[in-house]
Amino acid sequence: MTKSTIPHPPRRVPLIGDILGMDREFPNQNTLVRFRELGPIYRRSILGTDLTFVGSAELAAQVFDDTKWEKHIGRPLEQLRPLVADGLFTAYNWESSWSRAHEVLVPGFTKDAMVSYHGTMVEVVDELCKDLESRSGDFVPVVDEMGKLTLEVIGRCGFGYSFDSFGESEHPFVTAMSRALTYAQDTAIPLPFIGKWLRRNEEQQNEIDRRLLAETVDQVIANRQESGERRLDLLDRMLHPEEGAGLDAENIRNQVLTFLVAGHETSVNALSFALHFIAQNPEIAARMRAEASAVIGAGPVQYEDVPRLRYTRQVINEALRLWPTAPGFFRAAKQDTEVGGHKFSAGEWVFVLLLAVQRDPAWGADAEQFNPDRFAPEANRGRPAELFKPFGTGIRSCIGRQFALHEMTLALATLLLRFDITPENGYELTVEETLTLRPKGLQLTFTRV
């Protein structure tokens, strides 16, 4: 087989290509459906650009081979470059600033570092609980509420900065950040012909937003430098690495914004999906509550308690499997190679849709169902790694994985101990797509137990 035989959607239009049937609102969920029609690899060619999608565990394993494939900065990530430039998430593989920042920041995510963040995480989860208590029994928009938690956690643990998330009104930084991310997503799929003209107002707003984000971060960095204060946080590590000179001011700004972008929405949405499934499944909630009560008791939660919350972790894993909040990632061939018998030249790239890979029939006949028991240690033994990659793969996988898992496990266990969580009558899960996936319009009640 040659690359020209990779299946494509029906009704290819001369010159323009596979534009028909594209879904701007739900591109990833649309791709999931396409795999069922076209098989585990297919290609969309648009105006001469090829987008190849990979959606089975077997083919994913081939492109996860680091000797032949590497991270690729695809168009949605390119769109973030004006905002975060060579920050860890969007740096090109060949940029030396990536290796230096990676070296400086990895120690900020070790076990010792997590121990040092634990107290702040507990403190913020406590503030979240107080906020929810004040609205006990009311329907609460879950994504917004979890957003306060994760932003506050990364702000305080990362840079000693509070967005005052549990205050009366939204911080202008948060508004600007969410608008800048929406802009990056909206412009990822180019509008034909008059697109630029149609978007001129959004473009101006985006300029303003980017300036506000950069100025706020620069101020935080300047304040720290002027005060000479030393803290156990990511900003301190970037200013005063264990070895060698600190990162330069512009790169630090890119990293701070990167952590806010990469570390915020993904965790918010994962927590929200998990809460949706918990609210829909009282027996799962009961098991989690029993576990939290046995491990944490009257509290406060100790660092060592968190890894012992095994069932809670299973619930988080299962939410991330069924709805990976980073729905996929790009991989580029480092050399001429093949995927599923199709030839790829060095430099060609694919998008691996985790949303499809993590529902591969290899998970069993119930792959589409929510079942945390599939992550029980005995069920999990010998599972091929490619079946579950919500944090990416290889050297460019998620640096914040342990941070996110610690935060989410701690938060869910505490919420279960303190609240009864109930869904809206008749709520059906609809999944909204920005750069990430999130449950649309999810509202739950949190009633003090």
307, two tokens: 């890894």
55 binds ligand HEM (CB under 6 A): no
Q: Exactly one of 266, 272, 314, 445 binds ligand HEM (CB under 6 A); which one?
A: 266
Q: By rule CB under 6 A, what string of x and - marks binding of each residue 188-217 to ligand HEM?
A: ------------------------------
404 binds ligand HEM (CB under 6 A): yes
Instruction: Report in angstroms how near the CB of residue 316 gets to ligand HEM at its nearest.
Output: 8
Annotated catalytic residue, options 53, 370, 391, 419: 391
Q: Exactly one of 392, 409, 442, 446 binds ligand HEM (CB under 6 A); which one?
A: 392
390 binds ligand HEM (CB under 6 A): yes
Answer whether 90's CB lies under 8 Å from 81's CB.
yes
Give catalytic status of residue 129 as yes or no: no
Handedness of CA 212, 213, 216, 218 (dihedral sign): negative
Give catalytic status of residue 266 as yes or no: yes
DSSP class of residue 245 equals P
Annotated catalytic residue, options 35, 90, 398, 414: 398
Rounded CA gap, 404 and 361, in Å?
28
Among all chains, which residue has been given the structure tokens 């009704």?
11
Q: Which is nearer to ligand HEM, 38 or 410 (CB)?
A: 410
b/e per residue 417-439 (b: at least 16 CB within 10 A): bbbbbbbeeeeebebbbebbbbb
391 binds ligand HEM (CB under 6 A): yes
Give catalytic status of residue 398 as yes or no: yes
396 binds ligand HEM (CB under 6 A): yes
282, two tokens: 């009282």
317 binds ligand HEM (CB under 6 A): no
Rounded CA gap, 194 and 391, in Å?
37
Nearby residues of 233 by Cβ (< 8 Å), 6 or more positions away:
108, 157, 158, 159, 160
Q: Which is nearer to ligand HEM, 144 or 420 (CB)?
A: 144
3 binds ligand HEM (CB under 6 A): no
Among all chains, which residue has been given the structure tokens 């959004």?
202
Q: Which is nearer to ligand HEM, 163 or 259 (CB)?
A: 259
Q: Exactly one of 267, 272, 314, 317 binds ligand HEM (CB under 6 A); which one?
A: 267
b/e per residue 295-304 (b: at least 16 CB within 10 A): bbeeeebebe
Answer whether 347's CB lies under 8 Å from 69's CB.
no
Q: Exactly one of 114, 256, 262, 309 binds ligand HEM (CB under 6 A); which one?
A: 262
Answer whether 166's CB lies under 8 Å from 152's CB.
yes
Total interface residues for ligand HEM by CB under 6 A: 25
The bridge status of strand 342-344 relative to strand 437-439 is unpaired
Q: By rule CB under 6 A, what string of x and - marks binding of each residue 109-148 to ligand HEM?
A: ----------------------------------------
Which residues are 53's β-sheet partners? 42, 351
Q: Exactly one of 64, 89, 117, 161 binds ligand HEM (CB under 6 A); which one?
A: 89
334, two tokens: 């480092």
| Chain positions contacting ligand HEM, by CB under 6 A | 71, 88-89, 102, 154, 258-259, 262-263, 266-267, 270, 325-326, 329, 390-392, 396-400, 403-404
Question: Which active-site residues does the annotation give?
Answer: 266, 391, 398
